[in-house]
Amino acid sequence: MKKTMLVLIPIYFFIFLSLAYGAAGRISKLSGEVSYRTKANIPYQTAKEGIELEVGYWIKTGKDGWAKLSLTDGSVFTLANNTEFEIDKFLVSGKKKHGVFNLSQGKLRATVVKLAGQQANYKVKSPTAVAGIKGTEFMMMTQGYANVLFGNEGSVEVSGDADISKPLSSDTMVQNTRGITPTDPVKVEQNTQLYTAKKNFEEITAAKPPEDWELSGNLPHIIARWNINYGHYLADAGRYEDALYIFQIALDLTDKADIRGDARLERGTVYSRFLRNPEAALAEYLLILEEYPDNPQRETALYLTGIILNEMGFTKKAKERLLKYTKEFPSGKHIGNVETILKTIKD
């Protein structure tokens, strides 16, 4: 019996090692600039179709890159352009399978296969969000601090830094930023910006790469603009903290000055009109003036800065801002109010 045990232990140990550290899958298709590395913190090298992928491997797509990763359990990850992805953990053993995949940046579609009677525990992690998967198809974008997820089939549990999660199901969207608890799921309605964004997302992560990657570049801006409209709706419904959060996600998604300016104006409105927090509102308006001096929202931001400073009792600074408004926008849409307020401010 002792001799038998001496033989069995190495065999089982070898099987475990092969499951834990063997090939996790392969790059079954690719297009454009795609590279890989066998572990973190080493240079990338050019990838080719058929390359076997193991735990610890990283795959990176360039500005026109696209890759389909086929795992040994039948699951598939399709990476759009400008995406960096790591196979952190992967183990398939009998009726259980476990996988952890890191999305440092970019966009992907995950199709996770779950067989009858099988326990699947997959997670896709970004720096600020975690998607827990049992067996489903969904799409995920990580843009800076922000994450946006669209559900296609099944259910995904999405969380931030805390344990609180929100469900992502078919034809819904969940998002978060900065590790904060995700938003409640929103239904993707037809003939909306969100519907357009989802369709574009599906196209760039389809079974073949798109002919033009402009759709991919526009996705964050489309969703950010939708967020501003949605946040405005939430504010009107009295959900002020939710509205502020949505506006922050919009800010973290886009670098377009006009969209960022709108988001900050909306945040300022919530703080000043609804939450009676003039200091926070003033900070938003000043950020517009400082971040983007040529921003289309500069006129309104300058006007509101003067108004709030006057309401807070800083009349000298308020006068300086309002006089600056008259010089920059002598025919501006707020010029009448500005001239009236200036007459009431004592030197």
> Would you report the helix, strand and coil content of the chain in percent, each value rounded to 5?
40, 30, 30
Pairwise CA distance, residues 63 & 124, whole Å: 22
| Mean pLDDT rounded to a whole number for the chain | 92
With a cut of 70, which residues of the chain have pLDDT below it? Answer: 1-22, 116-117, 347
DSSP 33: S
Pairwise CA distance, residues 243 & 246, whole Å: 5
Asked whether residue 103 is assigned to any structural domain, the reply reads yes
DSSP 182: P
The domain containing residue 160 runs over which residues? 17-189
Burial of 88 (0-12, 13-18, 19+ CB in 10 A): middle
Asked whether residue 308 is assigned to any structural domain, the reply reads no
The string of pLDDT tens digits covering residues 150-182 is 999 999 999 999 999 999 999 999 999 999 999
Question: In the prediction, which pLDDT does 22 show?
Answer: 66
Q: E-assigned strands of 49-95?
A: 52-54, 58-61, 66-71, 76-79, 84-93
Structurally, how many domains does the chain consist of?
1
Look at residues 62, 37, 67 and name the one whose alpha carbon lies nearest to residue 50: 67
Asked whether residue 50 is assigned to any structural domain, the reply reads yes
Burial of 89 (0-12, 13-18, 19+ CB in 10 A): middle
Asked whether residue 98 is assigned to any structural domain, the reply reads yes
Between helix 278-291 and helix 257-269 the angle, nearest 10°, is: 170
Residue 232: both structure tokens together: 């405005």
DSSP 114: -
Concatenating the DSSP letter of every residue in 130-172 gives EEEESS-EEEEEEETTEEEEEEEES-EEEE-SSS-EEEE-TTE
Asked whether residue 201 is assigned to any structural domain, the reply reads no
Asked whether residue 120 is assigned to any structural domain, the reply reads yes
pTM for the model? 0.91
Q: Which CATH number covers residue 133?
A: 2.60.120.1440
Asked whether residue 344 is assigned to any structural domain, the reply reads no
Asked whether residue 60 is assigned to any structural domain, the reply reads yes
Question: In the prediction, which pLDDT does 152 show?
Answer: 96
